[in-house]
Every structure is written in C-alpha cells, then in structure tokens.
Amino acid sequence: MWPVLASIPSPADGGIALGPLTLHAYGLAYVVGLAAAIYIGLKLWESRGGDRDLVFEAATWGFPAGIIGGRLYHVITSWNELPDEWWGPFAIWEGGMGIWGGIAVGVLVGWWRVHRAGADTALFADAAAPSILVAQAIGRLGNYFNQEIFGTPTDLPWGLEIDPANRPDGYEQFETFHPMFLYEGLWCLALAAILIVLFNRRTFRPPGLFALYVAGYSLFRIFAETQRLDPANEILGMRVNFWVAIALVLVGLAAFWYSQRRPGGGDGRGGVARGEKATARK
C-alpha cells in the first residue's frame, strides 16, 4: 500500500460534553436531520397550498415511529450485534438503526395522519421524499462519531481513520477506510436536489417522486452493501440489506411506472386535494 498522505480523522469520542451532561452525537444528528426535514417539507408542501400544521403533525407522529421501526429492523436482522445486557435492544446511542424499518414505519404512520386529515397523501409523499433524504444525509454524520459505516481500506486523501479497536477482524493492519457514511450522505443530498427540481417543475404524477426516492436510494445501497465491512447476517453469501436493496429498487421502479400510467388521478400540477387547501382535523 502507498503511504497515507492525507485522511479524515475520526473523533475520539461519540459524545459532546456540556458541563455535567453528555449529548450523544448520534442522537443529535437525528434531531438536526428532523429539523431540516421539517423545514424542507414545509416549503414544498406550502408551495402547493398545503397546511403547514399538517407537516408538524406528520413529523410528530412519524419521527418517533421511524425510530422504533428502525431499531426493530436492526434488532430483527442483527440480533447478534446487540450488547449483552437487558437494555441491549434499546441502546440506540450505540448505533444500530435499520433505515428500511425506520422509513417503512415512519412513512406508514405519517401517511395515516395525512390521510386522516383529508389531504392528498400522494402529493404529501412527494413533498416528503427529498426531506427524508436530507434527514438521512444528516443522520449519517452520527455514524462518523461512532466510527461505523465504513468500507474497504483506501489510501485516498478522504480515507477515514479508524481506531484499532473499531477495525474489523482481519483488517487490523489498515488505518484508513472508505467513508461509506459520507458517500451515502452525498448521494442522498444529490438525489434530494434532483427531486426538489422535479417537484417544482410538476413533471410527474404523485407519488412518482417518492417512488424514485425509494429506487434511487436503494440503488446506492446495492453498491454500499458490497463495500461495507461491519458485521452483518448474510443470505447466499451477501448481506441481507443487499437483497433488500435490490428488491426495493424493483419495487420503486414498478411503483413509479404504475403511478405515471394508472388511469385517473391528478397530473402532479395542481394544488393539495384537487386544488383545495387541506387542513388537519382537530
């Protein structure tokens, strides 16, 4: 290997000390990501005449549901990685959130609140798609502080320094690795920017953009799952999330095709609920 001339240092601690209190960077990244998602979602939803209170209501219900769903997915698919304590399944500050479970449960609960309010759930999903991507990108910063979600060794200038204690078995002699969390974050931001442009142009029929979000994000995960070195259960020699990502790319593309070709429905160019402003039921 070539000598490492530059690299990204990893923080020595995953917490931020504020006097007697310690904020876990992993959780803080989730909170900042939520705030960014709400802001972007508000702008997009209001641009179609939507009620801003509905965004807050959907986030209030969807975010904690997503945390629960994400943790459940991790517990189910990676039970052997949990701390050997009674509180192991609840230790989200140690990392371990399955994005598939988080998005699935969070979106379902958010969809329920939007549907209950009588608003256009398909259009709301399109407004939420880039918001979720930005939240995912910010949330990945928590993996940086935990020294996790990295790939194979590299000597590139942006290689991520990993402490010996956090290096996988068989890779103890390597110092820097591909920062997969960073690659994923940049992919999410780029895809979010594309979806925002498409949303503003009103080109596709809802929920086509949400379907593209599912397919586009999952496409990156197919690549990422072939590079990551963290422990994971496997099926046919490949990580479980590799197969999940392939399935979701196909589901997303099929959903996009169907949403654009199905008879009836709006064309994505009107406002909320056929042009009428929808308000949440009190």
Residue 202 is assigned to a structural domain of this protein? yes
Angle at 102 between CA 163 and CA 58, to 5 degrees: 130
CA distance 126 to 199: 7
Residue 17 is assigned to a structural domain of this protein? no
Distance from chain centroid for Cα 272: 26
Number of structural domains (the chain) is: 1
Residue 228 is assigned to a structural domain of this protein? yes
pTM: 0.85
Determine the structural domain holding residue 155 and report its residue range. Answer: 22-261
Residue 9 is assigned to a structural domain of this protein? no
Listed residue (204, 219, 273) closest to 251, CA to CA: 219
Per-residue pLDDT of the chain (282 residues; tens, 9 = 90+): 444 457 889 887 766 666 667 677 878 898 999 999 999 999 999 999 999 999 999 999 999 998 888 888 777 776 666 656 655 566 665 556 678 788 899 999 999 999 999 999 999 999 999 999 999 999 999 889 889 899 999 999 999 999 999 999 999 999 999 999 999 999 999 999 999 999 999 989 999 999 999 999 999 999 999 999 988 888 999 998 999 999 999 999 999 999 999 765 444 555 554 434 444 333
Residue 219 is assigned to a structural domain of this protein? yes
Residue 6 is assigned to a structural domain of this protein? no
CB atoms inside a 10 Å sphere around CB 212 = 22
DSSP code for 202:
T
CA distance 67 to 54: 20
Residue 106 is assigned to a structural domain of this protein? yes
Residue 31 is assigned to a structural domain of this protein? yes
